[in-house]
């Protein structure tokens, strides 16, 4: 039986079709896999940039900008933030693990002014203490002092407080740039009386200066001046080298007070 040239070519073309079909199947599979992976790629590279904790944030602490970063997350977490500035300065209600989105339910917009166990700690650096001093309209700049303001403290005292001799009243500037961290008492809702006439101010001082301040409160008449905002110094964030810890305070009396401010010097 004779075999024609057309019959010889058919098996070769069949193998070619099989190879082409296999290539098309591989391409189709690859395309399908790529399409299926798009959501994963979106979550890692094209998701919404939201604020997350750069490091673990402890409950009841003020959140710093350095504690935060932006990271792409998809889908976008509910109540999340898209800018670090919207979260920095707020207070953490609970512990926030590193890498977790910082959402509105985890923070408070009024740090240091919440009630009971939900309140953040007062912003007191190491070695410092918060001291409450009395005020009034005449003493405290007519009620204009608010949280964050800086005070100059003047003391009026008779030289008789420092020993025998001719008594005479003396006025000295005893403290400058005291940072006001509260105005008035905490209310039931945790809000202080900022922006209204009150009977007390809470200021930040070292534990050593606290002893001098209490001595003056007991023996002198104090009045406050409100500094210009352009004269404000840096808010302390670390211990003062002159009074590095609470045990640095060793007590004061008339001699130490007079040595520091020279009330008896003409």
Q: List domains and CATH numbers for the chain.
A: 48-118 (3.90.1210.10), 128-261 (no CATH)
Tens digit of pLDDT at every position of the chain (266 positions): 555 555 555 556 667 767 777 777 777 767 766 655 555 444 445 678 999 999 998 877 789 999 999 999 988 889 899 999 999 988 887 789 999 999 988 888 765 544 444 456 778 888 899 999 999 888 888 888 888 899 999 999 999 999 888 889 999 999 999 999 888 887 644 445 445 688 899 999 999 999 999 999 999 999 999 999 888 888 888 899 999 999 999 999 999 999 999 999 88
Query: Can you tell me the distance from the alpha carbon of 193 to that of 183, in angstroms, rounded to the nearest whole number?
Result: 5
Query: Can you tell me the distance from the alpha carbon of 184 to that of 174, in angstroms, rounded to the nearest whole number?
Result: 23
Nearby residues of 176 by Cβ (< 8 Å), 6 or more positions away: 152, 153, 227
- Do the beta carbons of residue 101 and residue 107 sit within 8 Å? no
Return the pLDDT at 115: 45
Return the pLDDT at 147: 86
What would the DSSP string read from start to end of 181-206?
A: EEES---TTS---TTS--SEEEEEEE
pTM as predicted: 0.58
Neighbours of 141 (CB within 10 A): 15
Q: Which two tokens stand for residue 46?
A: 């094209």
Query: Can you tell me the distance from the alpha carbon of 262 to that of 260, in angstroms, rounded to the nearest whole number?
Result: 6
């Amino acid at each position: 039986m004779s075999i024609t040239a057309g019959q010889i070519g058919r098996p070769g073309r069949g193998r070619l079709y099989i190879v082409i079909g296999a290539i098309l199947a591989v391409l189709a599979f690859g395309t399908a896999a790529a399409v299926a992976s798009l959501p994963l790629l979106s979550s890692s590279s094209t998701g919404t940039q939201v604020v997350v904790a750069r490091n673990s944030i402890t409950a009841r602490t003020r959140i710093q900008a350095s504690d935060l970063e932006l990271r792409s997350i998809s889908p976008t977490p509910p109540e999340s933030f898209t800018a670090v500035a919207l979260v920095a300065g707020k207070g953490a209600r609970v512990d926030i693990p590193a890498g977790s989105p910082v959402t509105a339910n985890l923070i408070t917009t009024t740090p240091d002014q919440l009630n009971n166990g939900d309140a953040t700690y007062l912003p007191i650096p190491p070695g410092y203490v918060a001291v409450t001093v009395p005020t009034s309209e005449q003493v405290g700049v007519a009620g204009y002092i608010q949280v964050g303001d800086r005070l100059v403290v003047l003391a009026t005292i008779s030289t008789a407080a420092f020993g025998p001799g001719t008594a005479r009243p003396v006025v000295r500037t005893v403290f400058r740039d005291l940072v006001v961290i509260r105005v008035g008492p905490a209310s039931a809702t945790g809000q202080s009386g900022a922006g209204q006439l009150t009977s007390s101010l809470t200021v930040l001082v070292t534990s050593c200066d606290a002893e001098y301040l209490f001595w003056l409160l007991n023996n002198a008449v104090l009045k406050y001046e409100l500094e210009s905002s352009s004269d404000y110094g840096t808010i302390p964030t670390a211990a003062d080298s002159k009074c590095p810890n609470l045990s640095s305070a060793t007590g004061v009396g008339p001699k130490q007070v007079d040595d520091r401010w020279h009330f008896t010097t003409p």
